[in-house]
Chains A and B, each alone.
Chain A
Amino acid sequence: MPKDVGHDSSSEVSAARSGELRALAGIEPPSRETLEAVRRREPIALAAFFDRYAAAIYALAFRLLGDREVAEDVTQDVFYKVHRSIDRLDPARDPRPWLTAITCNTCRKHWRSKRYRVSRTALSWEDTPGLENRLPSAGKDPSQERLSREEVRQVQEALDALPAPLREAVVLHAYQGMGHDQIAEALGISHAAARKRYSRALAELGERLGRWFDRRREGRA
């Protein structure tokens, strides 16, 4: 058995569950032996694969969709698709672009779904019951303490207003930390197109989030 195939350590599982491993770009790919074991659908290798990527896939879906339940659905769908088409996993290659592509495609399917669109149009940040389920309140997440509830609303609305390809470019580059090359590979577009999408997204966000950008520029000056 390859040395890390059976790496089902409690630390990694708990990392996945606690959401410490958030960015796909920051996760080292498993060894070739592990990926070959994943291809063979060996249960321990599958569990290790899940532990390595589940939190990052969930985080990506959540940031793209802004909805906890839908992000769970997407995560489930992504792993279902991975399991179904595991034969296409190339053990010689980093699986992150493949996973990113599946996640983005699945999110697009959700964007088109009735449930998601209804949930977005019905969203009222001031008085919708169950809002806490959509975005965690400041008290529950330490990182939230730095943005007020109103600020979170503004940023999320600005992201939601972006067309899907631009939103993907922003989340993958600025949140997931992926380079334009990686984004281009994952989305099946050219490097120039990936850069252009990000620039356009940045320009559109600048109109809505200008005061944050201005503050940053002032701070630099």
Chain B
Amino acid sequence: MNDSRRSSDSEALRELLSRMPEGQPSPEFLTALRREFREGTIRPARIRLPFWRRPRFRWIATAAAAAAAVWLVLIANQGPGWQMVRASGTGTLFVQGQPIALTEVAQKMTMLRPGAEVRLDGDESAMLDLFYPGLFTMQVTPGASLTLPEAPGRWFGRTSSFRVDMGEVRVVTGPRFPGSTLRIDAPGTEVHVVGTTFAVMVSHETTSVCVLEGEASMKMPASDSMMPVPAMRRRTVVMETHETMEEPIHPMEEMRLTHLRNAAMPVLEGDR
């Protein structure tokens, strides 16, 4: 728009607006408003914004949307729930003190929540194999007392921890585990694992870690430093003396871990 035309249009608009009717406030309104302004009793007009335009609603809606987004991310980040591979032998699983016959565990999997305290009582044949699809398999042996770990998060919170108070627990990590960490608290030590096949054995006097493949780290009670436990080795901590010793893995344990790994990998890889 050139200046001449702009000026002409501007004048035309000014003229047009000057010919528009003026609104007239009612005299009663002006008189009342003047009095209220003068006396300081003036109140705001009742401007009703639609509820979605009100500042409070917008603030609440924003906070709710943010909370919902966080909630969705947390839900989506959650790993899978426990699934059972097998429960064999004769025995009873105590979950938070409640007894469940091994033959009925499959029907009561909802009780096996992360953090639940479990204990397996039974003869030597009793065995419970649980797994998080793709992540890891856990084999609970008779006499074992532990808390169940949660599945590592998909994107964050990828450390999963649990406690072994007594007995033996064997673990095989799966193809989706890399990037995650397992932390096992056991009497007198702490074990960190980033991908391996291993067993944690707790007796009244000692805590041992046997590694079939990969590597685990074990905290030394005297120094708090982490000592590696390489493949085919077993490291034991004596709780009373804090003494540690490393030795080759026992042939029987090697056999059991190998058997578990061979059975677990197809399940973890979804070939079942």
CB of A216 within 8 Å of the partner chain: yes
Residues 21-60 (chain A) with a chain B CB within 8 angstroms: 22, 41, 43-44, 46-47, 50-51, 54-55, 58-59
Inter-chain CA distance A76–B11, complex, in Å, is 32
Within 8 A of B (CB), among A120-157: 135-136, 138, 140-141, 143-144, 146-147, 152, 155-156
Contact for A174 among B13, B29, B33, CB less than 8 A: B13
A217 within 8 A of B: yes
A83 on the B face (CB < 8 A): yes
Q: Are B16 and A209 in contact (CB under 8 A)?
A: yes
Q: A46-B38, A174-B14, A205-B13 are in contact. Are A62 and B45 (CB under 8 A)?
A: no
Q: How far is the CA of A72 from the CA of B24 in the complex (A)?
A: 9
Count residues of B near A (Cβ-Cβ below 8 Å).
42
- Counting chain A CB atoms within 10 Å of each CB, the highest count among B21, B23, B29, B33 belongs to B23
- A136 near B47 with CB under 8 A, answer no
> Which of B48-56, B80-88, B96-104, B138-146 lies on the face that meets chain A?
B48-56
* Shortest beta-carbon distance from A62 to chain B in Å: 3
Tell me if A114 and B49 are in contact (CB < 8 A): yes
* A212–B12 CB distance below 8 A: yes
Contacting residue for A17 out of B8, B27, B38, B47, CB 8 A: B27
A50 touches B18 (CB 8 A): no
Q: Known contacts being A19-B22, A113-B48, is A41 close to B6, with CB within 8 Å?
A: no
Q: Given A73-B45, A83-B37, A199-B1, is A143 in contact with B8 using a C-beta cutoff of 8 Å? A: no
- Known A-B contacts A135-B23, A141-B22; A174 and B17 likewise in contact (beta carbons under 8 Å): yes
Name the A residues within 8 Å of B48 (CB-CB). Answer: 113-115
Instruction: Enumerate chain A residues within 8 angstroms of B16, measured Cβ to Cβ.
Output: 147, 155, 209, 212
For B42, list chain A residues within 8 Å (CB).
76, 79-80, 83
Chain B nearest CB: distance from A179 CB in Å?
12
Decide if B250 is an interface residue (CB 8 Å cutoff).
Answer: no
Given contacts A46-B37, A141-B22, are A175 and B45 in contact (CB under 8 A)?
Answer: no
> Residue A43 contacts which of B8, B33, B38, B49 (CB distance < 8 angstroms)?
B38
A contact patch SS: helix
A172 to B8 CA separation, bound complex (whole angstroms) = 18
Can you list, as one digit per residue, whether each of A71-85 has a CB less than 8 Å from chain B (1) or not (0)? 111111101111100
Task: Give the one of B12, B19, B33 with max A CB within 10 A.
Answer: B12
Q: Kindly state whether residue A203 has any CB partner on chain B within 8 Å.
A: yes
Q: Which residues of chain B have C-beta atoms less than 8 A from A71's C-beta?
A: 23, 25
Is B20 an interface residue when CB atoms closer than 8 A count as contact?
Answer: yes
Q: B39 within 8 Å of A by Cβ? A: yes
- A215 at the B interface (CB under 8 A): yes
Is B15 part of the binding interface, using a Cβ–Cβ cutoff of 8 Å? yes
**A75/B20 in contact, CB under 8 A:** no
Closest 4 CB pairs of A and B: A62-B23, A216-B12, A73-B45, A144-B21
Q: What are 18 A-B contacts with C-beta separation under 8 Å?
A: A44-B38, A50-B33, A54-B30, A54-B33, A63-B23, A80-B45, A83-B37, A109-B49, A143-B18, A143-B20, A152-B20, A170-B17, A173-B10, A175-B17, A202-B13, A213-B8, A216-B12, A217-B12
Interface residues of A (CB under 8 A from B): 13, 16-17, 19, 22, 41, 43-44, 46-47, 50-51, 54-55, 58-59, 62-63, 68, 71-77, 79-83, 109-110, 112-115, 117, 135-136, 138, 140-141, 143-144, 146-147, 152, 155-156, 170-171, 173-175, 198-199, 202-203, 205-206, 209, 212-213, 215-217, 220
